[in-house]
Amino acid sequence: MDLRKPKLSRILNVKKTPGISSYLVGKAPVDDIIKVTEIPGLHVVSAGHIPPNPTELIQGEKFRELMGYLKEKFDYVIMDTAPVSPVTDAQLLQEFADINLFVVRHAKTPRNFLNMIEGLHKQKKFKNMCLVFNGLKPRGFQIYGYGFGGYGNGYGYGYGYGYGYGGEYGGGYYLEEKIGIRSVLKALFRRN
């Protein structure tokens, strides 16, 4: 649903067109925009050509029909949207979401964006707001044997490798930065 700077088609090796924009302007049927990926069980609806009026397309009745169809056909519908600021697309799309995840990258996301997210939360602009904080790296900080990197770090409290969380990626809740979205999606769909 990032109709301004789409990237997922390239990442997931599917054709960009036809896509959502093609469907919304009546140039493609819905079944032509749903694409099978290399990851079993994962389908993607690509963005299509970048339209001159993404906000208008999102507000149309045809988009509402598309979301109803997708929610009936699939167990989960995940929308990757344009960033919350400066465009309103994400705010318009939140009506169709059960959970709204905001991804914040350590040492990259400007602090004023965090203030904006806090303001959106206080104003209740998004329902069920959650924050994903990624790109965090251990700094070697330790006090009394407790190190940075997660509860139970190295203590065997039932977290990490051997308990369904580590597997091929190593231990714990944290994935290394070098793992791309494709690897994470494969792991998620393998668990379900």
| 87 or 123, which is more confident | 123
Retrieve residue 163's tokens.
């308990």
pLDDT of residue 76: 94
Per-residue pLDDT reduced to its tens digit, 88-97: 788 889 889 9
Per-residue pLDDT reduced to its tens digit, 52-61: 999 999 999 9
Could you give the 3-state DSSP secondary structure of residue 101? strand
pLDDT of residue 164: 40
Q: Is the pLDDT of residue 171 over 70?
A: no
Please state, in angstroms and rounded to a whole number, the distance separating the CA atoms of residues 14 and 17.
Answer: 9
- pTM given for the model: 0.68
Could you give the 3-state DSSP secondary structure of residue 63? helix
pLDDT of residue 166: 40
Per-residue pLDDT reduced to its tens digit, 117-161: 888 889 988 889 988 888 877 665 555 554 544 444 444 333 333
pLDDT of residue 46: 94
State how far the alpha carbon of 172 is from the alpha carbons of 37, 80, 144, 154, 163, in Å: 28, 26, 20, 9, 9
Please state, in angstroms and rounded to a whole number, the distance separating the CA atoms of residues 33 and 44.
Answer: 8
Tell me what the pLDDT averaged over the chain comes to: 78
Q: Phi, psi at residue 32, to the nearest 5°? A: -80, -20
What's the CA angle centered on 80, arms 66 and 59, to 5 degrees?
A: 45
pLDDT of residue 134: 86
Q: Which residues pair with 130 in a beta bridge?
A: 101
Whether the CB-CB separation of 148 and 140 falls below 8 Å is answered with yes
41: confidence class by pLDDT, cuts 50, 70, 90 = very high
Q: Which amino acid is at 175?
A: L
Those residues with Cβ within 8 angstroms of residue 191's Cβ, 6 or more apart along the chain or in another chain: 164
pLDDT of residue 17: 93
Mean pLDDT (whole number) for 159-166 = 39
Q: Is the pLDDT of residue 49 over 90?
A: yes
